[in-house]
Copies of this chain bind each other. A is one copy, B any other.
């Protein structure tokens, strides 16, 4: 079985893929839409793309392409902790504190703001297209005393030496990935997780005060817990929003269908994006 993922190699997305789909073939794609198209075109059976708090891609692109173009079911979710390390070429392992330049993805540089401010004040940094690209870059120019911020996998892949571990500002830093597939694949068996989530896309009838409140009533009186709610603009004009709502339960026969029927009676259109096992992967 082939698993497409947002590349390049040694990014956080590949980390997630390696943990969960160890024995499958992994195919990197350069963009999130390209990765989803590969599933639609049957080039791969599964795709893994970042959904939330992503480093190497945009959450908005994932949601927009999923809801408005690709229309693939979500069959699973993988959450991994994001740990950023400082690494240099092995030749520069002794003198890393004198590094003259720091390379990384712009988001990773921002995430390590406090560390860089304390240890490398005034040292210029250069943002490159991914953390993996940064690790590759410092390995190609050992004569320059430069450091990269990247993950464990990138250090291994390119042979860089990690000189400071976990240099990110916030301890609790996670990325949430979704697994997309049109095939009948049981992610519960693959992941071993029995914790389910259900994701709905809800479009309100019009931009009216209190419409969202009515929608949430449908969940509240059924005691269905929401783990996330996010409004996203429709691509049709200003002020038109749809909502992505995550429910902390598996799709059942009574409660969720009842809530959907109630929202539809209020004039909403409701689309089930998936009801899937969610796994939290520890990288240590």
Binding site for B on A (CB under 8 A): 30-34, 37, 53, 56-61, 64-65, 68-69, 106-107, 109-111, 113, 117, 125-130, 169-174, 207-210, 212-214, 216-217, 219-221, 223-231, 233-239, 241, 243, 280
Contacts and interface: CB of A to CB of B under 8 A. Distances in A.
Contact of A228 (B68, B208, B241, B280): B241
16 contacts: A61-B111, A64-B170, A69-B169, A127-B130, A128-B128, A170-B235, A172-B233, A174-B233, A174-B238, A209-B219, A209-B223, A210-B216, A214-B220, A216-B216, A227-B241, A229-B230
A212 B229 contact: yes
A32 to B, nearest CB: 5
Contacts of A125: 30
Contacts of A31: 106, 109-110, 113
A53 to B, nearest CB: 5
A214 B217 CA distance: 9
Contacts of A56: 106
Given A170-B235, A213-B217, A213-B220, A107 B61 contact: yes
Contact of A107 (B58, B170, B237): B58
Contacts of A65: 110, 113
Contacts of A33: 110, 113
Say what secondary structure dominates the interface of chain A: mixed
Residue among A58, A217, A239 with the highest chain B CB neighbour number at 10 A: A58
B233 A231 contact: no
Nearest to A217: B213
Nearest to A172: B235
A212 B223 contact: no
Contacts of A126: 129
A208 B225 contact: yes
A171 B127 contact: no
Contacts of A57: 106-107, 110
Contacts of A110: 31-34, 57-58, 61, 65
A237 B174 CA distance: 10
A109 B53 contact: no
4 A-B pairs closest in CB distance: A210-B220, A213-B220, A127-B129, A33-B113
